[in-house]
Amino acid sequence: MAESEVFVHPKALCESDQVGAGTRVWAFAHIMKGAKVGKGCNVCDHAFIESGAVVGDRVTVKNSVLLWDAVTIEDEVFLGPNAVFTNDFTPRAHVRKSRDQFLPTRVRKGASIGANATIVCGITVGEYALVGAGAVVIRDVPDYALVVGNPARRVGWACRCGNKLPAGLACTCGLSYSLRGDRLSLNA
């Protein structure tokens, strides 16, 4: 396909007219009307993106990922297979809620969410953070943090390249970082 086109698999369902150029939507995936998906994304089989969800550019949405209204995914995020988000902290079938009662969730640029991770609503996952497979995230995740477990806790720091950083905070890929207080930042 031309770079400027959206590819929608014949067995997918794409109802949104706000999907960016070069994005591919695979079999049995469903993007609802009113969902925004950026350019160059890959939306894999059985993924679901609800009206109101916002997805940036060059995002990988692996199979069966579920994204809701009030969830924002920034550019170049990796959402692993079966990663699931929420937007209602106290769901009850008999209680009808309006959109302004949903708790917003944001995954910031370049972060990765591991396979089968659960992201409880109302939190922010920081830039280039790495949420381990199967983690249950119930609070904010700092930039570059590597978190695992249920509930998820920080067990280290992740490089932009994806590797866990060694104690000296210099990655084999060439990048290095500095820790000030409990905040990691990339060295210039």
| Peptide bond just before 151 cis, omega within 30 deg | yes
Q: Return the number of the residue (164 or 181) whose C-beta is nearest a second copy.
A: 164
Please tell me whether residue 7 binds a second copy under the rule CB under 8 A. no
Q: Which residues pair with 73 in a beta bridge?
A: 55, 107
Binding positions for a second copy, 22-61, rule CB under 8 A: 27-28, 30, 45-46, 48, 58-60
Site size toward a second copy (CB under 8 A) is 53
Cβ count within 10 A of residue 89: 11
Binding mask 130-159 for a second copy (x = CB under 8 A): x-xxxxx-----------xxxx------x-
Q: Return the number of the residue (90 or 180) whose C-beta is nearest a second copy.
A: 90
Query: Would strands 183-186 and 54-55 be described as parallel, antiparallel, or unpaired?
Result: unpaired
From the list 120, 125, 129, 165, which residue makes contact with a second copy (rule: CB under 8 A)?
120
Quick one: three-class SS letters along 91-151? Answer: CCCCCCCCHHHCCCEEECCCCEECCCCEECCCCEECCCCEECCCCEECCCECCCEEEECCC
Please tell me whether residue 78 binds a second copy under the rule CB under 8 A. yes
Backbone angles phi, psi at 4, to 5 degrees: -85, -5
Binding mask 91-110 for a second copy (x = CB under 8 A): xxxxx--------------x
Counts of helices then strands in the chain (DSSP H, E): 0, 23
- Picking from 148, 144, 147, 139, the residue whose alpha carbon sits closest to that of residue 176 is 144
Q: How far is the CB of 1 from a second copy (least distance, A)?
A: 18
Q: Return the number of the residue (119 or 181) whose C-beta is nearest a second copy.
A: 119
Q: Which residues bind a second copy (CB under 8 A)?
A: 11, 13, 27-28, 30, 45-46, 48, 58-60, 63-64, 66, 76-78, 80-82, 84-86, 89-95, 110, 112, 114-116, 118, 120, 130, 132-136, 148-151, 158, 160-164
